Structures are given as structure tokens and as C-alpha cells.
Amino acid sequence: MNRIKSLVVFIVGITVSSTALSASVKLTEPRLMEHVTPVPSALLINAYRYTGSLKSFSIDAVTENDDVFLDKMVVTYTHHIQIRVKRPQKLYISTYGDLKDKEYYLNSGHFTVYDRMLNYYGKLDVPIKIDNALDYLFELYDIKTSLANILYTDLDKRIPPKNRGYYFGESSVDDIACHHIGFFSDTQEYQVWIEKGKHPLIRKFIVIDRTNPFLPRSGTVLKWNIEEKNDDAIFIFKAPKTAQEIDITPVNEWEAE
């Protein structure tokens, strides 16, 4: 009889202990999940994919870029950038500030760059799609448009993060909650602020050049409008009456001279 009582007590004890353990797991599991650190590379690739999926949008950005003056000090220059995109074939970029005052137009295979400071413009026939046109302009003419590195539809395949990333926590950019992440290599440091939630937009980034002892940096803050419809008229260049048209020469012709 004593053996039966002991067995009952033992079984009840196991049941109670198992119930308590189960309750403990249920209570602590959400707390553990709250402290799971997001993977920086996954956040960045997700942002690239999301941006690449947008069909029509606008960006208003402010950039600050350092330049080393006479190997003595760092000078910072500021530019304001307006971007209007209507995929797959229309793009408008305006850059103005301390050193530049230019407009770039991509419209169904036609490219125009207009320098407002010098009042000249040049035209080229380019591939129709924005991605291909940007590649064409860079590779053949060494033309780089502002913030082109976030305008590609396949950026997640072009520049996936290869170095170890770090998660610095949550931060705010223009009162928008963001993930703050960073990457580094022997030549560069890269910090990014990515909006939390269903719209993982890059709201801010900073790049530091580690190859220069002055550690010059460039920083950009971006304001997005992903509901921008973008009227087709904004992608059409109308030359001012006093503007002069010039030829745009391929890079290989520069080298041959």
C-alpha cells in the first residue's frame, strides 16, 4: 500500500513539475524573442528588395560630403537632391548645392544632362530600362548620377553585404523608427538607418573612407514618397533658349587623346 501511495505522489510530482515547466516556458519565451537581435545583412537586403519593387516614387535628400583640402583639413560640401522615378523607363534627378547644379533626365531610351551653372546640355540614346541605362552611362561615359546606388531594381544581387554586420539598436530619423546597422572593411565603414515595419526604406546612411588618414565621410538623409504618381512632363527636358548643346564623349575617347 505504501508503494502505491509513493508511486502516486511521484507521478503527481512529475505532472506538477511538468506543468510548472510548461508554464515557465510559455512565460519566458516571448521575453526571449524580444531580445533577438535582427541580422544586419538581412535587413539591408530586404530594404534593397523593397526599394527595387517600387514602381513610382520620389525622394528628397540632403547629402554632406567631405573633401580633403591641401592635405591639411576636411571641408564639407552640402547638396540637395530631388529624385522622381517611374519604372521601368523614366527617371529625373536634380542636384544643387555647393559644387553642383545639374539635372538628369531618362525618358524611354533618351538621356539628357543639363548643367545649370554652365548653361549647357548634352543628349544620348541609351537603353530603355533605368537599370540598363545607368550601367550604360557609367561604363561608357563615366556619368554617375546622385544616389544611383539605391535606384536599381536588383540591388540585392549587385551589392550584397559581404562583411560582418553589426546591429546598434533602434534609432529615429525624422521621427521615424529605424534599425541602425553598420558594416566595415579595410577600406570603408558603412552605417545605415532602415525604417521599421512594412516599408523598409533606407532613411539615412553614412560612408567613411578608411583609406584616407583624414577619414572623410559622406552622409545622406532621405525623405521618401512611395505614393508619388509622377506626371510624365517632369521627365521631359526643355532646353532654355540661351542653353548650348554639347557632345558627350565616351571614356575611351578621353583616354585616346
Predicted model pTM: 0.83
| Segments in the chain below pLDDT 50 | 1-33, 255-257
- 162 within some domain: yes
pLDDT tens for each residue of 150-183: 999 999 998 877 778 999 999 999 999 999 999 9
Summarised one tens digit per residue, pLDDT across range 52-65 is 999 999 999 999 99
- Residue 224 included in any domain: yes
CATH number for the domain harbouring residue 188: 2.50.20.10
Domains contained in the chain, number:
1
Phi, psi of 82 (to 5 degrees): -115, 130
Q: Which domain holds residue 81?
A: 42-245
Residue 2 forms part of a structural domain: no
pLDDT of residue 163: 74
